[in-house]
Chains A and B, each alone.
Chain A
Amino acid sequence: MTATARTLVIIPALNEEASLPRVLADLATQLPDFDVLVVDDGSRDATACVAARCGVAVLSLPFNLGVGGALQTGFRYAVRNGYDRAIQFDADGQHDPTEVWKLIAGLDAGADLMIGSRFAAGGAVTYPVGPVRRLGMRILRRIVRTLVGRDFTDTTSGFRAFSRPLLEFFAVTYPTEYMGDTVEALVLASNQGFHADEVGVNMHGRTGGAPSNRRFRLFYYYVRLVVVLLSSASRRSTRDATREARR
């Protein structure tokens, strides 16, 4: 499957003109057979121009939709253009192109959603994380363990791979609220009977741009996320029905 499967690397980008050229150059060198799509999420800088100059496909959103909305745009594009799987990749240089193979190996092993984890075995533990985010991640991890039924060490990781069936599902229904795009997507996919797995990966510090979060804002988002997750947990009844249907 690996030889003929077509893979799309989706890069949601918001004001990333500084880091994007290097990221795209790395991808072109390390993964020459993969198509790359930059989704410009309403940037006010030259993100779209820079990406187009690098020769990759660019979708420019007319206004900011957030990471989830940008990513979903990529999913729609992938489904329409017949890709077999997609990789979510950061525009700020955090992710290492060579680590993509670990995610793909997971998909080939039968997973629909592969999460690249900073904290699982095989990943770099030295990745710096602020105190609020650390606490938030710990709580989320607990909730996810309860809802999904297994442990994920890095639920907010933006380094992921999606199988074709999952792409088709997410092209229509993807959680587009802030932070929902990572954790909620995991819970949603698992509730729908998709198989999610994780693998340890190395990540770099950021090479450009600013982290998108302020402390209180982050706290607010975590609280809201818990509410959203609990409500999606109450939809669990659809899970068995869907599994029956998939059989």
Chain B
Amino acid sequence: MTGPRILVLVTGVLCLGFILRLVRRRELRGKYSLLWLTVGIFGLVIALVPGLLDDVADWLDVNYPPAILFVIAIAFLLLVVVHLSWELTRLEDRTRTLAQELAMLRHDLEAPESDGPQ
């Protein structure tokens, strides 16, 4: 095994281990763990099967095999970021609603007699 390959292998294993650790401590939701585990396994497969990337490049008629990796990685990361923005928007909406409800509840608690003014 060449040096770079070992490096990739070690990195992949470390990443997988890290994700598993987060999941076991319940610091990562199931859906995200699945996502990153898939990514980790994908990386490991690429590292362990040397000819795979070149074969795919041949088949797709791509001159520079690593370009495939870059394209996939960029597209994937873009999707992830958009998804996170979407999720963040949803969370902000919910947080805002909760804050509003809290303000009204607190008002009702502090002034029960003004509950439903005429």
Residues in chain A within 8 A of chain B (CB atoms): 35, 39, 57-63, 65, 69, 72-73, 76-77, 80-82, 176
A35, A60, A62: the one contacting B117 at CB < 8 Å is: A35
Q: Chain B residues in contact with chain A, CB under 8 A?
A: 96, 99-100, 102-104, 106-107, 111, 114, 116-117
| Shortest distance between the CB of B114 and any CB in chain A (Å) | 7
Q: Which of B103, B111, B114, B117 contacts A61 (CB 8 A)?
A: B103
Q: Looking at B100, B102, B107, which has the most chain A CB atoms within 10 Å of its CB?
A: B100
Q: By DSSP majority rule, is chain B's interface helix, strand, loop, or mixed?
A: helix
Which residues on the A side are within 8 Å of B102 (C-beta)?
61-62
Contact B116–A76 (Cβ < 8 Å): no
Question: How far, in Å, is B96 (CB) from chain A's closest CB?
Answer: 5
Find the A residue at minimum CB distance from B103: A59
Q: Note all chain B residues with C-beta closer than 8 A to A80.
A: 104
In the complex, which residues of chain B have a beta carbon less than 8 angstroms from the beta carbon of A69? Answer: 96, 99-100
| CB of B82 to closest CB in A, whole Å | 15
Query: CB distance A176 to B96 under 8 Å?
Result: yes
| Interface of chain A: mostly helix, strand, loop or mixed | mixed
Contact A62 B99 (CB under 8 A): yes
Give the chain A neighbours of B103 by CB distance below 8 A: 39, 59-62, 73
Contact of A65 with B96 in the complex, beta carbons under 8 Å = yes
Say whether, besides A65-B99, A81-B116, A76 and B104 are in contact (CB < 8 Å). Answer: yes
Q: Would you give 18 A-B contacts (Cβ < 8 Å), ordered by A?
A: A57-B107, A57-B111, A58-B107, A59-B104, A60-B103, A60-B106, A62-B102, A62-B103, A63-B99, A65-B96, A65-B100, A69-B99, A72-B96, A73-B103, A73-B104, A77-B104, A80-B104, A176-B96
Q: With a CB–CB cut-off of 8 A, which chain B residues contact A59?
A: 103-104, 106-107
Check A76–B100 contact: CB distance below 8 A: yes
Q: B107 — which chain A residues lie within 8 A by C-beta?
A: 57-60, 77
Contact check, B117 vs A81: say whether CB atoms are below 8 A apart: yes
- How close is A181's CB to chain B, nearest CB, in angstroms? 13
> Which residue of B is nearest A59, CB measured?
B103
Contacts of A72 in B (CB 8 A): 96, 100
